[in-house]
Structure 1
Amino acid sequence: MYFFIPLLASAEDIEVTLYADANYPPYSFTEAGELKGIYANIIKRAVSRMKGYKVTLVGVPWKRGLRLIESGKGFAIYPPYFHVEKRPYIWPYSLPILDERVMVICREDIFFRMMRLNWVEDYYGLVIGVNSGFHLGGDAFWQAAEEDKITVSEAKGNRENLLQLGLKRIDCYLNDRISILWELKKLKLSGEYDEGGKHARLIEGVTVSIEQGFLGFTNRDEGRFAYKEDFKKQFDIIIYDMRRSGEMQKIINDFLR
């Protein structure tokens, strides 16, 4: 899916493609062929103020987008978290764009015998759903999965994981809080999630971490994107100003209304 930034481009403007996660609502997603989301609204505003670039935003499945960056064919992608060791092909990162609170949401019955306040030990023995291609939860979580203390179940996105959770095929779902609650609200309004009826009642569990989303650039391009440093510098200055002025928070609030 494509979004063309409406700039008065000159012949000298450099054409740049930024890849976006096409299935991460409410932050970044496609709907009726249009790229939408909180990140999309922020980045559209930011790049419209940059000089010397004609920018196109393209929504792709997350794993495909990461492969484009890893191969050096893609210039940049949003919104990866800061995982330098796990994704050494992404460097540099922009200034942080948004802060996202990662939590687990679980079936009500999971808390009948214990409060489960400690991540990750209190969740041993459970099946935890995650979005395919995402690496949330911290090192202790993935170490527990390797040691079979926790079972990790991957699904395409929020909708699929929440429906799996409601049908008791997984015990908890790990992701950003706003993203989870936004999708759950949509499912309830559409009648797809019958909480307390066909589907289980859900309760928020522990906060796992505070993550930040970035614009991440490839370091596998072998110099093909010679403008990378200038692009990042301009982008960072604008993002900093949007955060400082309160403009970014207004974009978030307007989207979630």
Structure 2
Amino acid sequence: MNHSHPDLRKVNVTRYVTPLREGGSLPALVEADDEFLYVLKFRGAGQGTKALIAELLAGEIARLLGFKIPEIVFAQLDPSFGRSEGDEEIQDLLRASEGLNLALHYLSGSITFNPLVTTIDTQLASQIVWFDSLVANVDRTVRNTNMLTWHKDLWLIDHGASFYFHHAWQDAEQHALRPFTYVKDHVLLPQATELEEVDAAFKAILTPEKIRELTALIPGEWLNGSPSFESAEEHRQAYAQYLETRISNSQVFIKEAYEARKAYI
């Protein structure tokens, strides 16, 4: 697996192509000034910038761990963009999303991962289950795997449902120490037999220094205004502290995953 971590680029959205009705963030396929197509996640959608932070932070953690993740970019939406849009609902969403949004490179021709058709080996399954347990990603189920097959490789997408506790920021420290009970619904849990081996390898990668580098990527304008924190920097530190605590206590969610696997044995 490749453990490189590229810097995030910034693009300007130039054309709204089509809405993608899947997901709570009401994403859309757009074109940017670099002439590439992206799946744009809007800051003006129902879950606001929280979903963008989760997408950014979980996605870049996954990339650091070596998973294949579509390139994540910051996407600027100009105030004049979308004025000619005929659909009032879409126009309202565009107006509410002026400024900095998040987008992922569009994997043209990809197909949704089907666990009945494609078998994942136990190491990769264990790696994905460990990662999702770390970031509290509730959205990798049989109903919605949020994985794609592209050029014969497995790609992870859609992490906006991760860090679900941050919508309220209540008892974050206690939450970091809790098992990930939703792992029982994880599509790859039956194959996740190597969690202990994965744990050692991934904890060596996710050092406090790396975690701080990743949380530093979160734009200040997505963090300002939270009543739970006095500053954007304090807000970033809360994410970093959550992750560092959860990583150092990973046996809690590993044990939960092994207990949940008993239902499949």
Point out the structure with the larger helix share.
2
TM-score, with structure 1 as normaliser: 0.25
TM-score, with structure 2 as normaliser: 0.24
Larger Rg, first or second structure (1 or 2): 1
Point out the structure with the larger strand share.
1
Higher normalized contact order (CA 8 Å, seq sep 6+, divided by chain length): 1
